Chains A and B, each alone.
Chain A
Amino acid sequence: MNAVTFSDQAMAASAAPTQRKGRLRYHTLIFHATSVLVALLFLAPLVWVVLSSFRSPAESTQPPIPPWPMDGFSISSYDRLENFGQSVLHYSGNSLFVAVGTSMLTIVVSLLAGYGFSRYRFPLKGLAFVLILSTMMIPFQSILTPLFLLLAKMGLQNTLIGLVFIYTTLQLPFSVFMMRNAFDAVPKEIEEAARMDGVKGWRMLVQVMGPLVLPGVVTVGLFAFLNAWNEFLAALVLLTDQSKFTLPVLMTAVQHGRYGSVDWGAVQAGVTLMMIPCMILFLILQRSYIRGLTAGAVK
């Protein structure tokens, strides 16, 4: 037994350099082949819908095999989307307003709160922080009915502003937590040095601290934008006036069709319209996005 293993080892040792290299190369090849195959599977639905949305009206009633337009690129699917309610630009504007509004308000509110929680001591501070974070544990779906009544009472029913307030509130636990950590990471010495130079109050927050916590601000704003742009249930419940619809709500109306037939070309165009901005934002700000995600995982 011993002898066998010894000789095996000896043989392995002498053959090691070339054989191991060969096996390693083979492994790498298998690894990348698998990874690329999986990548193609993940990309396929996205590629399929984007390409299909440029097919002609006649083609758009056919199965998308192959997905690309056979008789020339056509934007007629996007044109037909114009005919649902008001123009699709109007609904994109609604979505953009809600997403930008939510991300702006979230940035301002969480920047202030993060600064307050990081740099000041005040009574019940711990309780206030826990209160904000604990809303994460309660599903907002369970308070949708009262929110509906509350907005009506405040005269905010059917308004995009009302939606902005709700989305911002939903973003707060994550955002306040992010911003407090961002401020905590800034050394106190920087603030003190600036104070010696006579910087005070708002200028301290905006001019001195602002640039230092910018990565946190980008992350918080990005998450708020994407979540507000994509949110469906609250928009479906709280917006009953068709002219106020955001894109996801509009698209479910398109999907249910008119006169019993569904315009799948328009659905493809709408889906493309909803997906592309998110993907572009993500590709540009990938680092901020992943930072936000892992901040939760590490903690």
Chain B
Amino acid sequence: MTDGLMAVPETPMPTRRRRRRHSQWNGLLFVLPSLLLVTIFFIVPLGMAAWMSLHKWPLMGVPRWVGFDNYERLLTDKSFWSSLWFTIEYTVVITIGLLGVAMALALIVQGQGKAISAYRTIYFLPVVTGFASAALLWVWLSNVDTGLFSPLAQDIGLTEGRVNILANFTPAFWSVIFMVIWKMAGFYMVILMSGLQSIPTDYIEAARIDGAKWSQRFRFIIMPLIRKPFALALILCISGSMLAFDQFYIILSGGPRNQTVTAVYKIFNESFISFRLGYGAALSMVLLVILLALSVIQLTFLSDKGPKK
């Protein structure tokens, strides 16, 4: 009797367990290709970068272990710090410019209707063109002889004669800023717009009835309610701008007088122009730590609790 009772549950048990184990393996199989790609083309190179940064690593020849020499060297490398400082300056200016313009655009396109959705599409259109194409377009438009800006400024009497925008730091820098705002504003517009659209209209209506002015409604109702999308836009903008390369490489080639070499550009120069791969890797690690810190701040901002108030 007891044997029989024991035997009943025993028969289905192994098959069920086997099936579960089988399905576990299946799950891993489905995920495996993505894990392989991430491991081979991300995790391994990441480890290699850390390893390389401790070596003197020429393109040809044998790498030599130098410990923390590369890091010591970068502490006193003025050109690296000035490139990092320039990147931060650029990030501050472009973030204010981009989010300001994007906010204005988002307020325009948050509504419904055929015309509004056409505006939305048009404002967004430059986003889908690449940074390289947009930069190439701009380098032509900014050209002093065959471009648009200088001849146009001369024709409408803004300047006497043609001014070479790209020859001096200030106009060159602002030309790039305008290009990036033109190209990227639509992107942040959509993020902010999704926030604006999620605000119940009752809130705004109620405030209007209570006599709140437009500026008050914006400051005390709209801004707090789109805090999350705004924080997301802010962080995406900051971390994207800290990695700027294409526009400065293509439009200005780091000039005039190497004043517009960004951090990534500096790494590119060290690694692939001077072929100091070890030193380039050390610079990369510094940039990586900065970006990682930014990401951690992002996570605290975007978590449901938000930053400590």
Which residues on A are within 8 Å of B, measured CB to CB?
Answer: 31-32, 34-36, 38-39, 42-43, 45-46, 48-49, 60-65, 108-110, 112-113, 115-117, 119-123, 125, 128, 131-132, 135, 137-150, 165-166, 168-169, 172, 176, 226, 229-233, 237, 248, 251-252, 255, 264, 267-268, 270-271, 274-275, 278-279, 281-283, 286, 289-290, 293-294, 296-298
Complex contacts, B145 vs chain A, CB 8 Å: 61, 63
Complex contacts, B250 vs chain A, CB 8 Å: 232, 252, 255
Q: Which of A38, A60, A65, A166 contacts B105 (CB 8 A)?
A: A38
Complex contacts, A289 vs chain B, CB 8 Å: 128
- Can you list, as one digit per residue, whether each of B189-200 has a CB less than 8 Å from chain A (1) or not (0)? 011001100000
B31 to chain A, nearest CB (A): 4
**What are 11 contact pairs spanning A and B, CB under 8 A?**
A48-B148, A120-B23, A142-B291, A144-B271, A144-B284, A146-B46, A172-B37, A232-B132, A274-B133, A279-B125, A297-B195
**Inter-subunit contact B52/A122 (CB<8 Å):** no
With A49-B140, A137-B295 already in contact, the answer to whether A172 and B119 are too (CB < 8 A) is: no
**Inter-subunit contact A169/B122 (CB<8 Å):** no
* Contact of B26 with A by CB under 8 A: yes
Give chain B interface residues in 34-48, CB to chain A under 8 Å.
34-35, 37-38, 40-46, 48
Complex contacts, A233 vs chain B, CB 8 Å: 245-246, 264, 268
**Inter-subunit contact A112/B31 (CB<8 Å):** yes
Q: Which of A108, A143, A150, A274 contacts B284 (CB 8 A)?
A: A143
Give chain B interface residues in 271-306, CB to chain A under 8 Å.
271-272, 277, 280-281, 284-285, 287-288, 291-292, 295
Complex contacts, B30 vs chain A, CB 8 Å: 112-113, 115-117, 120
**Inter-subunit contact A293/B191 (CB<8 Å):** yes
Complex contacts, B136 vs chain A, CB 8 Å: 251-252, 255, 267, 270-271, 274
The DSSP consensus for interface residues of chain A is helix
B23 to chain A, nearest CB (A): 6
**Inter-subunit contact A116/B28 (CB<8 Å):** yes
A15 to chain B, nearest CB (A): 19
**Inter-subunit contact B281/A226 (CB<8 Å):** no
| Complex Cα–Cα for A72 and B232 (A) | 48
**Inter-subunit contact B229/A297 (CB<8 Å):** yes
* Contact of B129 with A by CB under 8 A: yes
- Can you list, as one digit per residue, whether each of B201-241 has a CB less than 8 Å from chain A (1) or not (0)? 00000000000000000000000000001001000000100
Size band of the B side of the interface?
A: 35 or more
Complex contacts, A31 vs chain B, CB 8 Å: 108
6 pairs of A and B residues whose beta carbons are closest in the complex: A120-B27, A230-B130, A116-B30, A146-B48, A63-B151, A248-B132
Q: Which B residue's beta carbon lies closest to that of A117?
A: B31
**Inter-subunit contact A298/B194 (CB<8 Å):** yes
**Inter-subunit contact B190/A121 (CB<8 Å):** no
**Inter-subunit contact A128/B291 (CB<8 Å):** no
Complex contacts, A281 vs chain B, CB 8 Å: 128
Complex contacts, A293 vs chain B, CB 8 Å: 187, 190-191
With A145-B281, A230-B132, A248-B133 already in contact, the answer to whether A172 and B38 are too (CB < 8 A) is: yes
Complex contacts, B137 vs chain A, CB 8 Å: 45, 49, 271, 275
Complex contacts, A229 vs chain B, CB 8 Å: 130
Complex contacts, B130 vs chain A, CB 8 Å: 226, 229-232, 248, 274-275, 278
| Complex Cα–Cα for A297 and B236 (A) | 11
| Complex Cα–Cα for A275 and B47 (A) | 37
| Complex Cα–Cα for A165 and B44 (A) | 14
* Contact of B158 with A by CB under 8 A: no
Complex contacts, A65 vs chain B, CB 8 Å: 148, 151-152, 155
